[in-house]
Amino acid sequence: MSSEHHTPSVSLPEGLTIGYPRKRLAMSSSEVKLAKTENEIRLSPGRHLLLARNGRGKTTLLKTIAGILSPLDGSVELEGSVQYLDEDLRFDSELKPKQIFAALFRNGNRTFAMEMAQRIELDVEKPYGKLSKGNRQKVGLIVAETHARSGGPQILLLDEPFSGLDFAARDSVDDIWMEKEQEIIRLVCVHPDEPTLKADSALLIRDGKLEQVEVDGSLDWMETKEALN
């Protein structure tokens, strides 16, 4: 992984196979293959959606790109610093969001985190453990976005970041992302019926295949949902 170049990129070559060894679950050495690329997939700066039915490999793909899991075959090629935002990310329940931001960031980055909190209506004075699911997700989004603006090419891998957010918060996040749309790669795992489906492309996992679909600004979720059935 390199962060020397100004523009981030992700390349998933032909034949890349994601999954996991069966021995993690049972006394067997056989592999469980979830998806394979038939053609090279390249991600450039912008927003790219990741869609599939449950259990088809969305989270596995994100973890493979992040280097948390190894591919069963092939390798991922990256240019940039990678962040994986897990849907189950947690912070100390006693800390307030403003304390989390103060511990993680300094100067301008801390200022940005606090400003983003205001824009997406996060109560930074409320202990993390007492926040709703949506507000906990806001904390994670703020942390990821602030890190991504710290310099150098950045790749954000986001696992269902909108599942607990209301429409107003999603629109605010959209606005913030658009401010750095051409400098950061965001691969966003969503359900096909998510109302926020603005994108430059979409990665679909279906019938054991991982493929990229070009998108002209937004995705027709009904057609996509039917294609995944």
Tell me the pLDDT tens digit for each residue of 138-178: 999 999 999 998 888 999 999 999 888 888 998 999 999 99
pLDDT tens profile 105-123: 999 999 999 999 999 999 9
The CA distance from 165 to 102, in Å, is 24
Domain 9-90+153-228 annotated CATH 3.40.50.300: yes
pTM of the complete model: 0.89
Residues above pLDDT 70, as percent of the chain: 86
First and final C-alpha spacing in the chain? 35
The pLDDT of residue 196 is 52
Strands (E), the chain: 9-12, 17-21, 31-37, 41-43, 46-51, 77-79, 81-85, 154-159, 184-189, 198-206, 209-218
**3 has a pLDDT exceeding 60:** no
Give the torsion through C-alpha atoms of 155, 132, 197, 17, to 10 deg: 50
Q: Which residues of 103-137 are buried (b: 16+ CB within 10 A; e: fewer)?
A: eebeeebbebbbebbeebebebeeebeebeebbbb
The DSSP code for 212 is: E
**Predicted confidence (pLDDT) at residue 63 exceeds the cutoff of 60:** yes
Quick: pLDDT tens for 167-200. Answer: 899 899 999 999 988 889 999 998 765 655 688 9
- Residue 77 pairs in a beta bridge with 11
Q: What digits encode the pLDDT tens for the residues 65-89?
A: 999 999 999 999 999 999 999 877 8
pLDDT of residue 28: 59
| For residue 127, pLDDT beyond 50 | yes
Average pLDDT of every residue of the chain: 88
